[in-house]
């Protein structure tokens, strides 16, 4: 539902309206644009009558909208969102690269990779402390010790950290210690977790589920935003298809399709999408050419010894080359900036 306000609406009147919406368990958000003052209301609108809002003096019109993703969709937020995360801008023409190992394995490993990716121009450091693994016998990460190591790497390099949350029991630690909370493909439809992470109002990297449609990804983002977060990066990381030559199939058309539907930045993960390090460079370049707002790339100082996803991890040397060539493709496709 959209509330279109009169030009004469005062801040005090709008505040009363907002409180009224919150009292009905709705989430009001300022979606004013081009001089028109508007408030979007998200939540369960089934039993809500437009007249209840029309009664407010400051309201000009109430429009009921069928759009399934009111907060994540472009309809009420036509301009690209530009996130500012620890001084790094993402979206609206601001391109970022998130890089680091699949898992944090030791202090030496994370520091070495963090320093290398920073030198090569990465904006964020990634690294899993809690790892979702298909086999219960595989390495599942260092847990909270891994978070501590990521903090050391952030302190030494200045790179903000991106890491995956697996359980609500760690919400407080993630709220305190992590710059961008990753929600992995396997948890994209864990709606309780989505809402709980959203309620921290921190930046989130939301990965597309293994077999999820673009609309399901956007609805998952809507859950996070309904929880209260605004700074969401959406991540296409490959989907399940009949093809077995690659780990997943990179759905590159998700970049322009998402950008048409949402104002949120779209990040491509060529590592999980392909499963092979030598495919990471061509798919990174293709993602940039397709207009992605960023990349998340797995980098390991000794991929052959990696405890997780070594086959798809590039060395720091290959990462440097990817960064150089990504820069060239960005230049080649830039029209007016």
Exactly one of 202, 207, 247, 261 binds ligand PEP (CB under 6 A); that residue is: 207
Q: Which residues inside 97-156 make contact with Mn ion, applying CB under 5 A?
A: 102
Least separation in angstroms between residue 199's CB and Mn ion is 27
Exactly one of 80, 269, 293, 309 binds Mn ion (CB under 5 A); that residue is: 309
Q: Classify 33 as helix, strand or coil.
A: strand
Tell me the two tokens of residue 285: 């370049």
Count of residues touching Mn ion (by CB under 5 A)? 2
Residue closer to Mn ion (CB basis): 3 or 280 = 280
Exactly one of 28, 40, 73, 128 binds ligand PEP (CB under 6 A); that residue is: 128
Question: What torsion, rounded to 10 degrees, do the Cα atoms 84, 274, 188, 203 define?
Answer: -10
Least separation in angstroms between residue 312's CB and Mn ion is 7
Exactly one of 2, 31, 97, 102 binds ligand PEP (CB under 6 A); that residue is: 102
Residue closer to Mn ion (CB basis): 80 or 309 = 309
Tell me the two tokens of residue 202: 């921190």
DSSP state of 295: E
Look-up: residue for tokens 């104002």? 263
How many angstroms separate the CA atoms of 75 and 73, rounded?
A: 6
Look-up: residue for tokens 């958000």? 29
Q: Classify 119 as helix, strand or coil.
A: helix
Least separation in angstroms between residue 124's CB and ligand PEP is 12
Q: Classify 8 as helix, strand or coil.
A: coil
Exactly one of 237, 261, 263, 300 binds ligand PEP (CB under 6 A); that residue is: 237
Tell me the two tokens of residue 322: 């990817």
Residue 273 binds Mn ion, judged by CB under 5 A: no
Q: Which stretch binds ligand PEP (CB under 6 A): 78-86, 149-157, 179-187, 320-328?
A: 179-187
Helix axis angle for 316-333 and 277-289, nearest 10°, is 20
Q: Which stretch binds ligand PEP (CB under 6 A): 28-36, 113-121, 180-188, 280-288?
A: 180-188
Output phi, psi for 140, to 5 deg: -105, 15
- CA-based R_g, the chain, Å: 21
The entry of ligand PEP, Mn ion, none that residue 237 binds, CB within 5 to 8 Å by partner kind: ligand PEP
Q: CB under 8 Å to 304, separation ≥6 — which residues? A: 310
Residue 273 binds ligand PEP, judged by CB under 6 A: no
Q: Which residues bind Mn ion (CB under 5 A)?
A: 102, 309
Q: Which residues bind ligand PEP (CB under 6 A)?
A: 102, 128, 132, 184-186, 207, 237, 272
């Amino acid at each position: 539902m959209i509330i279109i306000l009169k030009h004469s609406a005062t801040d005090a009147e709008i505040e009363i309206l907002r409180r009224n919406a919150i009292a009905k368990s709705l989430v009001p958000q300022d979606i004013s644009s081009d001089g028109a003052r508007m408030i979007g209301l998200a939540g369960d609108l089934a039993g809500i009558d437009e007249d209840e809002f029309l009664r407010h003096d400051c309201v000009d019109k109430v429009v009921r909208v069928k759009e399934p993703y009111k907060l994540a969709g472009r309809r009420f937020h036509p301009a690209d969102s530009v996130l500012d995360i620890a001084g790094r801008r993402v979206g609206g023409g601001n391109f970022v690269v998130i890089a680091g190992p699949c898992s944090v394995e030791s202090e030496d490993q994370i520091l070495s990779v963090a320093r290398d990716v920073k030198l090569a121009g990465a904006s964020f450091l990634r690294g899993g402390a809690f790892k979702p693994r298909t086999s219960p016998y595989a390495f599942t990460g260092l847990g909270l010790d891994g978070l501590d190591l990521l903090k050391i790497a952030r302190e030494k390099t200045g790179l903000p950290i991106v890491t995956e949350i697996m359980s609500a029991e760690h919400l407080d630690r993630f709220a305190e210690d992590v710059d961008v909370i990753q929600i992995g493909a396997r948890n994209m439809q864990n709606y309780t977790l989505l809402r709980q992470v959203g309620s921290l109002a921190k930046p989130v990297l939301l990965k597309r589920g293994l077999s999820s449609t673009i609309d399901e990804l956007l609805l998952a983002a809507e859950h996070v935003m309904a929880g209260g977060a605004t700074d969401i990066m959406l991540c296409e990381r490959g989907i399940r298809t009949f093809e077995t030559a690659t780990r997943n199939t990179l759905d590159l058309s998700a970049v322009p399709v998402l950008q048409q539907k949402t104002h949120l930045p779209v990040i491509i993960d060529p590592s999980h999408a392909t499963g092979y390090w030598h495919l990471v460079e061509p798919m990174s370049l293709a993602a940039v050419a397709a207009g992605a707002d960023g990349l998340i790339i797995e980098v390991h100082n000794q991929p052959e010894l990696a405890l997780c996803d070594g086959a798809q991890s590039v060395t720091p040397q290959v990462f440097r080359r990817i960064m150089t060539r990504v820069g060239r493709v960005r230049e080649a496709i830039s029209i007016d900036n």
